[in-house]
Amino acid sequence: MSIEAKTEFKPKIVAFCCNWCSYAGADLAGSSRLGYPADVKIIRVPCSCRVNPMFILRAFEKGADGVILCGCHPGDCHYSTGNYYARRRMTLLFSMLDYLGVEQGRTRVEWVSAAEGMKFSATMNEFVEKIYSLGENVRLGDLRCRN
């Protein structure tokens, strides 16, 4: 076996965070100096309901290995009912992705409030761990975006 310099797998995670709860939660994690891997890229949206299934698939297409959606707790949505719709939408989407053979665990929804800085960083750490174990996303990625 020749000794090859293997590029260590660095997972790319995209986190859609709603502006009012989970983004503030991420902020709190930051100001409390609670660490979580830099592989997580946060995209701020006004509400978790803004997230279209196309966004999730585009994230995977462009090279993400895991996508997580964070929003307000059900009942606490800043816009009253947004996260209820998001909950239904994401459940159906994840079920379809599972049906297609995409590994479970690449997608996740977590409800994080503005005061839950610790929960945010714990969730991200857990999620990154999970993606490390699942490996690179080959089933739902676009080869052209892989160099």
Partner 1 sequence: MQELVNHAKELLTSGSVARVLGWKTGDLPYNPEPAYFDSAEALEEFVYNGFCGANLSKYMIEASKLEGKTLIFLKPCDTYSFNQLLKEHRIDRDKAWIVGVGCHGKLDAEQIRCQGIKGIEAVTEAGAQLQIQTFYGDRTIDYSSALLERCHVCKGKEHQIYDELIGESEETNDEERFSQVAGIEQLNPEEKFAFFQKELSKCIRCNACRNVCPACSCRKCVFDSNKFDSAQKANVDSFEEKMFHIIRAFHVAGRCTDCGECSRVCPQGIPLHLFNRKFIKDIDELYGEFKAGEDAEAKGPLTDFTFDDAEPGIVAERG
Partner 2 sequence: MYKTAKQNLPALFRMIAESQELYLPVRSAGQTNFACWSEEAEVDLESLNSVKSPKNVFFPQSENLYTVKRDGKKMKIEPEALRNQEFVIFGMRPCDVRGVEVLDKVFLADPPDTYYAARREHGTMVSLACREPEETCFCSAFGIDCTEPDADVAVWMIGEALYWKSRTDKGDALTGTVGSLLTEAEEQDVEETKEQVRGIIAKLPYSDLSLEGWNGEALTEKFDSEKWEELYKPCLACGTCTFVCPTCQCYDIKDYDTGSGVQRYRCWDSCMYSDFTMMAHGNNRTTQMQRFRQRFMHKLVYFPANNGGMYSCVGCGRCVGKCPSSLNIVKVVKAFQSEGGDK
Q: Between 15 and 28, whose beta carbon lies closer to partner 1?
A: 15
State yes or no: residue 63 binds partner 2 (CB under 8 A).
yes
Render the burial of 76-97: b for 16+ CB within 10 Å, e for the rest.
ebbeeebbeebbebbeebbeeb
Q: Between 66 and 82, whose beta carbon lies closer to partner 2?
A: 66
Contact partners, residue 87, CB within 8 Å, separation at least 6 = 74, 109
Q: Between 50 and 62, whose beta carbon lies closer to partner 2?
A: 62
Amino acid at 104: Q
State yes or no: residue 62 binds partner 2 (CB under 8 A).
yes
Instruction: Choose which of 73, 88, 115, 129 interacts with partner 1 (CB under 8 A).
Output: 88
Starting at the earlier edge strand, list the strands of the sheet with 13-18. 40-45, 13-18, 66-71, 107-111
State yes or no: residue 75 binds partner 1 (CB under 8 A).
yes
Amino acid at 37: P
State yes or no: residue 94 binds partner 1 (CB under 8 A).
yes
Q: Between 39 and 110, whose beta carbon lies closer to partner 1?
A: 110
- List interacting residues with partner 2 (CB under 8 A): 62-63, 144-145, 147
